[in-house]
Amino acid sequence: MVKTIDLKSTIHCRQCGKKIDLDPNPYRPFCSDRCRKIDLGKWFGESYRVPDKEIPSENFQENNLDDEEREE
């Protein structure tokens, strides 16, 4: 079964929570250019982060020693 989006429906802006129509909004999923830029600024400022596997500190130190030995 394929899900379709009703373009006449409304959603909430991901930044401010204001109800907005999906169509004809050029800034969706945001209500305005301002909210879009605020969200982009949070990505640039590293407020949002994508989870990654954490490297244990002991492995990190061993890898750094190997790199330093190679340079000598």
Residue 11 has pLDDT above 80, yes or no: yes
> pLDDT confidence of 41, banded at 50, 70, 90?
very high
CA distances from 57 to 5, 51, 54, 61, 64 (A): 46, 17, 9, 6, 11
Residue 70 has pLDDT above 90, yes or no: no
pLDDT (tens digit, 9 = 90+) per residue, 42-61? 988 888 777 777 766 665 55
Strand ranges, E, within the chain: 10-12, 19-21
Question: What is the pLDDT, as a whole number, of residue 66?
Answer: 52
Domain boundaries 10-71, CATH class: alpha beta
Residue 5 has pLDDT above 70, yes or no: no
pTM score, whole prediction: 0.55
Please state the rounded mean pLDDT for residues 17-32.
87
